[in-house]
């Protein structure tokens, strides 16, 4: 471009777009040879389209499709609407730098972001949601609430958890782990690195190599930082010969894994390079499969509802019936797994859609999206049936007749990535976590120095009751301290003055209530304890 674009240019571009819409310009599809297209776009100076065309040529493409719209010729697979007059409501929203192909080694381009909807009302509703989403942005709130940070010198995509953020994560981890153990899961731990050979055996090195970090040499052997937890869990299973009486075995691990993401795709906590999964692998017999799936779905529903989500979107990914050759496992196992997954979802009375051809090569899977407080869907939980790893690692169990049989394996992550789930929670609650989740549940605000001692004693009493409490004993006004606590979105604030010190009655402010309530210390403790127990 002859000049660098600025936000003030966007309304000007919108005006030209509206003129083009009024001209009822047709979108006409053309086809031509790759060589002719390269020649045409070289003439126009479209160096990036030429690069794409040359790549297509190397891949063996002979012809490509283009679209003519007025004077504009575009390289595009399509399809398009018939004419510009069919365009609905739109708005250009902002500009951003973007590396060509998302690679920081390439040139920085300018990307224009826009929105398009069928009607002006849909666009208007979405724009209002965007305003709300900006207020809830977990990157902004994470900084304001002192939860986490990123540091370029430390490394991109690697979050540093501050005390309050680490506490929030610990609360989440403690809750889910307790629930898993109650349901018969066994806690395991596996190292962060392993020999490269094990990931060759598992198939990850061939199938996910682009997302894995380079090997490191340790005593002339190649080791790699783990992208998945499953090989370690399999090795634990294989330390003993298992009987059908031992199954199902449910291993769970809050395991941190590392996957390469291009710097242009990193986004706060929701897209990082190191993340912790609430991972589990269930090894079971074919006859146990359906019941295990039902139990996982029940658990998923309970966990997500406890975190405040009530709307779910469920999809079941199955094989492409016309191209079964690209999947591992026999028809019998696939039919059993797909049928069992569908029946398990129906058992919980969930509506679901079937996605043909979206199964992973080693088995069908179920994905769950939750809807946040402002209506946005987030992909969270996944449940996969695996025929591949039991085969690759020669997993067996001894059946009732004393014969070796191959078990099935379920991969299950209910929160998915704890980093991503934390980002979702921050945005869902706009940083105002319910009392049971809040890193600081009570902020004690002494009016003056004479009230410090009693405030500290009160804090000790609360800590004895396992409440998370802070005393703001800085030399500032009470009003300023209250505003600070409100900005930190602490659920409860207690202002301690002469009356409170002498009378043992608390002056209780809740962040969501305008009215200040007075109650005894005992009644206040009972109130918080009940909120925590009920996870309101």
Residues marked as catalytic: 230, 259, 277, 279, 281, 365, 411
How far is the C-alpha of 231 from the C-alpha of 370, rounded, in Å? 29
Tokens of 455: 């405030």
Spatial separation of the C-alpha atoms in residues 501 and 453, rounded to whole Å: 9
Q: Are the beta carbons of 76 and 64 closer than 8 angstroms? A: no
Would you say 448 and 501 are in contact if contact means Cβ atoms under 8 Å apart?
no
What CA–CA distance (Å, rounded) separates 470 from 485? Answer: 10
Alpha helix (H) residue ranges in 108-222:
120-136, 138-144, 163-182, 196-202, 204-207
- In 3D space, the residue among 423, 439, 380 whose CA is nearest the CA of residue 164 turns out to be 439
Partner residues linked to 29 by β-bridges? 67
β partners of residue 2:
none
Tell me which residue of 316, 309, 430, 433 sits closest to 377, measured CA to CA.
309
Q: Are 511 and 486 in contact (CB under 8 A)?
A: yes
* Structure tokens given for 143: 């900084």
* Whole-Å CA distances, 30 to 5, 27, 63, 66, 179: 31, 10, 10, 5, 59
Tokens 């921050």: give the residue: 426
279 Cβ contact partners less than 8 Å away, ≥ 6 residues apart: 229, 230, 252, 253, 254, 255, 411, 412, 413
Q: Are 307 and 293 in contact (CB under 8 A)?
A: no
Q: How many CB atoms lie within 10 A of CB 459?
A: 18
3-state secondary structure of 288: helix
Cα pseudo-dihedral 66, 71, 72, 78, rounded to 10: -40
Token pair of 254, please? 């809050």
Whole-angstrom distance, CA of residue 308 vs CA of residue 534 = 12
DSSP class of residue 70 equals T
Question: What is the C-alpha separation between 385 and 365, in angstroms, rounded?
Answer: 6
In the block, which residue shows the tokens 């898993």?
180
Question: 438 near 284, Cβ under 8 Å?
Answer: no
Nearest-angstrom CA–CA distance, 365 and 328? 14
Q: Mapping DSSP to helix (H, G, I), strand (E, B) and coil, where does residue 22 land? A: helix
Q: Which DSSP symbol is given to 485?
A: H
- E strand intervals along 61-135: 63-69, 72-75, 89-99, 108-117
């Amino acid at each position: 471009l002859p000049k660098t674009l600025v936000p003030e240019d966007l309304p000007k571009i919108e005006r030209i777009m509206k003129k083009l819409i009024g001209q009822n310009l047709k979108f006409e599809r053309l086809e031509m040879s790759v060589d002719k297209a390269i020649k045409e776009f070289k003439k126009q100076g479209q160096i990036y389209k030429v690069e794409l065309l040359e790549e297509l040529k190397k891949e063996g493409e002979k012809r490509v499709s283009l679209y003519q719209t007025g004077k504009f010729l575009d390289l595009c697979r399509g399809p398009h609407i018939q004419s510009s007059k069919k365009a609905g409501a739109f708005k250009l929203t902002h500009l951003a730098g973007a590396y060509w192909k998302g690679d920081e080694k390439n040139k920085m381009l300018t990307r224009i972001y826009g929105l398009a909807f069928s009607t002006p009302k849909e666009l208007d509703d979405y724009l209002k949601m965007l305003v709300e989403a900006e207020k809830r942005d977990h990157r902004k709130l994470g900084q304001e609430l002192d939860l986490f940070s990123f540091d370029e010198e430390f490394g991109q995509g690697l979050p540093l958890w501050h005390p309050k953020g680490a506490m929030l994560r610990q609360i989440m981890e403690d809750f889910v782990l307790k629930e898993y153990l109650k349901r018969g899961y066994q806690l395991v731990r596996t190292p962060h690195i392993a020999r490269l050979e094990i990931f060759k055996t598992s198939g990850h090195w061939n199938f996910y190599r682009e997302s894995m970090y380079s090997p490191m040499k340790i005593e002339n052997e190649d080791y790699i930082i783990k992208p998945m937890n499953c090989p370690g869990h399999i090795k634990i299973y294989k330390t003993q010969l298992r009987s059908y009486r031992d199954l199902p075995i449910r291993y769970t691990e809050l395991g941190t894994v590392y996957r390469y993401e291009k710097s242009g795709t990193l986004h706060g906590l929701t897209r990082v390079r190191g993340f912790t999964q609430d991972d589990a692998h269930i090894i079971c017999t074919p006859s146990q499969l359906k019941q295990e799936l039902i139990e996982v779905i029940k658990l998923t529903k309970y966990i997500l509802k406890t975190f405040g989500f009530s709307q779910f979107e469920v999809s079941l990914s199955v094989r492409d019936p016309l191209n079964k050759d690209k999947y591992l496992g026999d028809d019998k196992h696939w039919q059993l797994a797909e049928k069992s997954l569908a029946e398990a979802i129906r058992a919980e009375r969930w509506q679901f859609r079937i996605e043909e051809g979206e199964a992973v090569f080693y088995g069908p899977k179920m994905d769950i999206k939750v809807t946040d407080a402002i209506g946005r869907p987030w992909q969270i939980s996944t449940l996969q049936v695996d025929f591949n790893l039991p085969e690759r690692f020669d997993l067996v169990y001894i059946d009732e007749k004393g014969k070796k049989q191959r078990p099935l394996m379920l991969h299950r992550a209910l929160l998915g990535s704890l980093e991503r789930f934390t980002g979702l929670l921050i945005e869902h609650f706009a940083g105002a976590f319910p009392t049971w989740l809040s890193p600081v549940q009570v902020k004690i605000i002494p009016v003056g120095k004479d009230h410090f001692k009693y405030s500290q004693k009160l804090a000790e009493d609360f800590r004895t009751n396992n409440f998370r409490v802070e005393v703001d004993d800085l030399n500032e006004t009470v009003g300023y301290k209250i505003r600070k606590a409100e900005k930190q979105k602490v659920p409860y604030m207690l202002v301690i003055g002469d009356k409170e010190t002498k009378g043992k009655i608390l002056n209780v402010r809740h962040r969501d209530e305008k009215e200040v309530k007075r109650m005894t210390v005992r009644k206040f403790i009972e109130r918080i304890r009940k909120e925590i127990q009920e996870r309101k």
